[in-house]
Amino acid sequence: MEGNTTVCIVGLGYVGLPLVEAFSRHISVIGYDVDEAKVTELSDKGMDRVYNRCPPDQTG
């Protein structure tokens, strides 16, 4: 994938979170989940709190 590619992963559970981690090594990723507690927990571990996204260089 080249250019300004961004993907959105809906659901940050058993499948979604590993996908976010894998994609975010190379491209911009937006992660979405309806569970606010889960989003808050992930934000505390390094996700951008404003946009709920991992920077492309996030490696977990």
**Residue 59 in this model has a pLDDT that exceeds 60:** no
Distance (Å, whole) CA 51 – CA 22: 19
Query: According to the model, what pLDDT value does residue 13 have?
Result: 87
Give the model confidence (pLDDT) of 7-53 as tens digits.
Answer: 999 998 889 988 988 998 889 888 888 988 888 888 887 765 444 44
Query: According to the model, what pLDDT value does residue 15 have?
Result: 92
Q: Which residue has the higher pLDDT, 56 or 28?
A: 28
Strands (E), the chain: 6-10, 28-32, 53-54
Residue-range domain boundaries for the chain? 6-53
Query: According to the model, what pLDDT value does residue 46 have?
Result: 73
